[in-house]
Structure 1
């Protein structure tokens, strides 16, 4: 069983990683090729491409200029500790035990516009390149064309090596579009998290993102290898809702908290 998550735009570059162990990303040569092209863009071009402020564009132009291989713990940081958005706050990987961290490394993969597919402990240098960015490159008009079947091939290799045929999709639509599902040698399960608002259950982005991280943490804490056990997920008040669920889409709901 393998989980896939989206990365985060927010990065934690200041806090040191809580563990020394690290790995190198499988697709770093592809990342280097992409960065060679990305680093040619001036801050103003980045601002227009990514629809970000001049300040953020300048920061990322500087990051692109500084990006270089090889990655070491002195110039890079493990991805699961670098990413710092809602998903990763729910996951809170820095507080997991060594055994639980090993579980993450074996059972979780992070999709990335620049790095393709990452293990949690793969070293990365700071960047911003969302998968949906229409960045024209040597392979096509966007990042989906740049990555082509490479991410899917690596997922299939990972699943085969683990003798597993189940992929739990906890990534956003933007990122999961980089996976060619028809070529994927796995059963796909997509958990969906809904919160009660005004008497109706809806996907509320902030809560749903956090819940994705919470589910991965729950799996690591309970060392889950059978997806059926995920139906017991109950972190922060979520419960599995069979009536709303299908074989492919598992719905978890949370009732409105009374104050």
Structure 2
């Protein structure tokens, strides 16, 4: 299994005094040169007067943008603790038992506009940069990362199942091959909610549900090795309460999990239905 996660917008700083990022120590050393190029370009952009506009963020995040200029010296912490938010809280990446943490180190890759893709244990500083940004001297980040990520992740995915919890912005940076000698089974996760017999795609709760699924895939005894086994694992969560809404106290339960075949060279779709 190769489990792909998006980064979170919210990030928790590492402890004061922690060592800074060591690019050579991150997973996939073949990405090091491009990581350095993006890091330098981000630092240069972040001291400009129009930095917020170029990075596509609110002017209220000026302090976050300013910190981008000093990432090489900033304290770094494990990606599993730096990335926070709905999906990460639900997955519990930072509190996995030893066997599940070992599986996560091998199978989980967190996509990033700055780092390309990192493992949960890679030490990184918090930063502000989306894959949807175009940086001077680098260009659109998703396009710039494509050849580098393909070289690193293509061989890793070959013959395996790729469980994709990323948003479209990050999917654009790398798509697994689904045909040919280097093919993988590619499964994306779609979450819908059923109300009064009608189903609609959900957003915020989808992140939580994908996180629950990710945590389950890492903690269950057997690691899935095919799309069919991913579906089997998802069905182990049927009739369980997936989340409780804070504002209303209402619960949402997983009532159905199905796998839709791929169209052309695209992914299969694992649809999780909440009610």
TM-score tier by shorter-chain length is 0.7 to 0.9
Alpha-carbon distance, 1:182 to partner: 4.3
Partner of 2:65: 60
CA offsets, 1:6-46, max 9 Å, x none? 01110011679xxxxx9623223321111111211235322
> Structure 2 vs 1, CA of residues 6 and 179 (structure 1 numbering), >3 Å: closer, same or farther?
same
Q: Does 1:33 align with 2:34?
A: no
Contact conserved, 1:137 with 1:146, CA < 8 A, in 2?
A: no
* Larger CA deviation: 74-83 vs 23-32: 23-32
Query: In the aligned structure 1, how far is the partner of 2:128 from the partner of 2:150?
Result: 22
Correspondence for 2:235 among 222, 232, 249: 232
Deviations 1:90-137 (A, max 9, x none): 112232211111111111111110000111111111111111113343
* Corresponding position of 1:208: 206
1:71-82 correspondence to structure 2 within 5 Å = 75-82=75-82
Higher fraction of strand: 2
TM-score, normalising length: structure 2 = 0.78
SS of residue matched to 1:196: strand
Corresponding residue number in structure 2 for 1:85: 85
1:1-259 matches, within 5 Å, as 1-13=1-13, 24-26=26-28, 27-41=31-45, 42=47, 44-61=49-66, 63-68=67-72, 75-138=75-138, 141-159=139-157, 164-182=159-177, 185-197=183-195, 199-226=197-224, 227=226, 228=229, 229-234=232-237, 236=242, 237-242=253-258, 245-246=260-261, 248-255=268-275
Secondary structure of the residue aligned to 1:34 is helix
Structure number with greater CO (CA < 8 Å, separation at least 6) is 1
Q: In angstroms, what is the RMSD of aligned CA positions? A: 2.5
**Contact kept? 2:113, 2:129, Cα under 8 Å:** yes
Q: Distance in 2 between matches of 1:44 and 1:201?
A: 46
Is the CA contact (8 Å cut-off) linking 1:91 and 1:216 kept in structure 2? yes
In structure 2, the gaps of 5 or more residues are 17-21, 243-252, 263-267
Query: What's the CA shift for 1:198?
Result: 5.0
Paired with 1:94 and 1:148, the residues of 2 have a C-alpha distance of 28
Alpha carbons of structure 1 residues 224 and 174: separation in structure 2 relative to 1, 3 Å? farther
